[in-house]
A and B are shown apart, each in its own frame.
Chain A
Amino acid sequence: MIKTIHLKDICKSYDGEVILDNFCLTVPEGKFFALLGPSGCGKTTVLRLIGGFETPDSGTIMIGDTNITHLPIYQRRVSTVFQNYALFPHMNVFDNVAYSLTIKKLDADFIKQRVVKVLRAVRLESHMYKSIAQLSGGQQQRVAIARAIINEPEVLLLDEPLAALDLKLRERMLIELIDLQETLKTTFVYVTHDQTEALTVADQMAILNHDGQIEQIGTPQQIYEFPASSFVATFVGKMNLFRGKLLTIGSDSYFEVKGLGKFSVYISARYEWMEEDKELLMGIRPEKIWIGKTKDEKFANYVIGKVEAIVYHGPATQYNVRLSNDAIIQVFEQNEEHFPKEKIDYDDQVYLHWQKENAILLER
């Protein structure tokens, strides 16, 4: 049976403030789906609607062929991993995980078997009888996941589940979540405002803007390499944007930026908004720019600028370069240090190069 989630024409407002307006979204079955958006964009509302904590003012929610719009929470085969885990403090690890089975008054031996199995999957079987307060943040997170998956839900909702963990632990949990999803084949809907998390875990992701509208849906690569709008481009990663005009469309396309000159661009897909002489945006990712003190003829495009700031990140160094039209461009350079490199210092004049395939065109 197909368990794709369909949200159709969903409207939802709180106290007269519209959160979602005619919101439509399809989450494919068995995928790790990430919902990425800025704070307050309504992504948590979407999750709460699927979970059944809220009912939409209008519109329908389907899982497969079943309309669950008005189905009470406890009848939905949807489980949630809450942001702060919401573990029951008066129960130990075992009872927390066993909760959904105990509620159904299942056989005690069967429950024990299942709990042990699930706890083993999240590597917590040795902590089975500990109280929640005795666990570390990462362990509590795993209990929350175990509790949510024991009942074999059709959909697992994760509401910023890693927000309370430190960086190292977060990276480890991300890998564990991916593994878990691959073993369970359950649809995971993962809500976050952290682009790295979303890019790491997702098979598919949707980007929501401030108005609760979907800007783009796609794989992490599609989103990162070919953002559909400047909002997506700047929300997911960093992007240098130039406002200018598309001069010619064809095998040799050119984009003119006032005060900087003409740049050759490669049009991978033709959209109807791509018209000659139209005001558009050209975007280049900072890491796709090659910085050097001399001009390199291998590149299709270059601009000259002056180094204004150098920020050392460890694996990479970020250069802020001021161009002749006063715009500032960001450049990332890997500190791989395989060969001696020319030293770039403050106020140096530098050449910024990129290939025509590195630049993308955006309508807005």
Chain B
Amino acid sequence: MEKKVASVGWGSFFWGIPALLWQVLFFYIPFFFLIVTSFIKHDAATESFRFTLEHYRTLCNSIYLKIIFRSFFLASTTVVICLLIAYPVAYYLAVKVKRWKSFCFALLVLPFWTNFLLLVYAWYFLLENDGLVNSLLLWAGFITEPIAMMNTKIAVHCGMFYCYLPFMILPLYSAFERLDLKLLEASSDLGATDLQTFFKITVPLTLSGIQTGALLVFIPSFGDFVVPALLGGDKDLYIGSVITHYFLTVRNVAMGSAFTCLATVLLVLLLLCMFVIHSLISRDSNNA
């Protein structure tokens, strides 16, 4: 998280101390330990600890890279699907809806009040072999045998999309609220078709919302383990499932730490790339 420079003096810093302490105690210090642990080997015979790169060497295996890539792919598709669905919804909600605005908004935020696990379990009842979807399709006669939807990639994608959609809609909604509709009129007035207006005016002016939404969806879905575990079965492993496996199942803290660090470094690198590209683009458009 980016911390704002205290510009109002010590007063604001003082009130920031509890949050800062919390962050340091429960995030930065544990994270530091995590990094240290990933480089240490515990020798049971001599009861000693020594520096090692062994864990990372183990991770240099195509299996792990595949897992990371699979997580990356899952997070990316979640972002794309969420964006495609959320964009028109946010536009409609912010621009078109007038009378029932707060009601629609409440409907949108409602899933937040429900436990995450319950939300995912709900999909279980939809997708299982005698679940709602299969029953409906059977009843309508589209299929004669239930489709196996649980424990597939599709189920995971459905769950991910469902859980993270609000994180995409909310920033987009506020971006559309800030969008001056006169600008769209001005664009068509100057001869732009609706499609041109969309790509030249609407998208650039809601870009901040798109970026925020993409980050808010990408980062947690990159490391999510609940949805793959509950809806994906054990066929496909994702970053989150590997980390839980090491920490909670086989209790190999060192390997878990190393894998966590690797995933984090990759994520940070990815975000850095995005940041650099973004600043290049915006500098480009300023010095055109």
Contacts and interface: CB of A to CB of B under 8 A. Distances in A.
B286 A79 contact: no
Given A84-B182, A86-B182, A90-B205, A103 B191 contact: yes
Contact of A82 (B182, B188, B192, B196): B182
A141 B192 CA distance: 21
A244 interface: no
Most buried by B among A99, A104, A131, A147: A99
B201 interface: yes
A299 interface: no
Interface residues of B, number: 21
A312 interface: no
A92 B286 contact: yes
Given A95-B288, A100-B191, A131-B286, A89 B205 contact: yes
B186 interface: yes
Contact of B180 (A73, A86, A91, A95): A86
A92 B285 CA distance: 8
Nearest to B188: A73
B189 A51 contact: yes
B207 to A, nearest CB: 8
Interface in A200-215: none
Interface string A50-80: 0111000000000000000000111100111
A94 interface: yes
A195 interface: no
A151 B205 contact: no
B96 to A, nearest CB: 15
Contacts, number: 67
Interface in A16-60: 51-53
B211 interface: no
A104 B201 contact: no
B193 interface: yes
Interface string A86-117: 11111110110001100110000000000000
B185 interface: yes
Most buried by A among B180, B185, B189, B286: B189
Nearest to B180: A86
A94 B186 contact: no
B187 interface: yes
Of all A-B residue pairs in the complex, the 8 with the closest CB atoms, nearest first, are A100-B190, A86-B186, A86-B182, A73-B188, A103-B192, A100-B191, A90-B204, A80-B189
Interface of A: 51-53, 72-75, 78-80, 82, 84, 86-92, 94-95, 99-100, 103-104, 129, 131, 147-148, 151
21 contacts: A52-B188, A53-B189, A74-B190, A74-B192, A78-B189, A80-B189, A82-B185, A82-B186, A86-B182, A86-B183, A89-B183, A89-B205, A90-B204, A90-B205, A94-B288, A99-B187, A99-B190, A103-B190, A103-B200, A148-B189, A151-B191
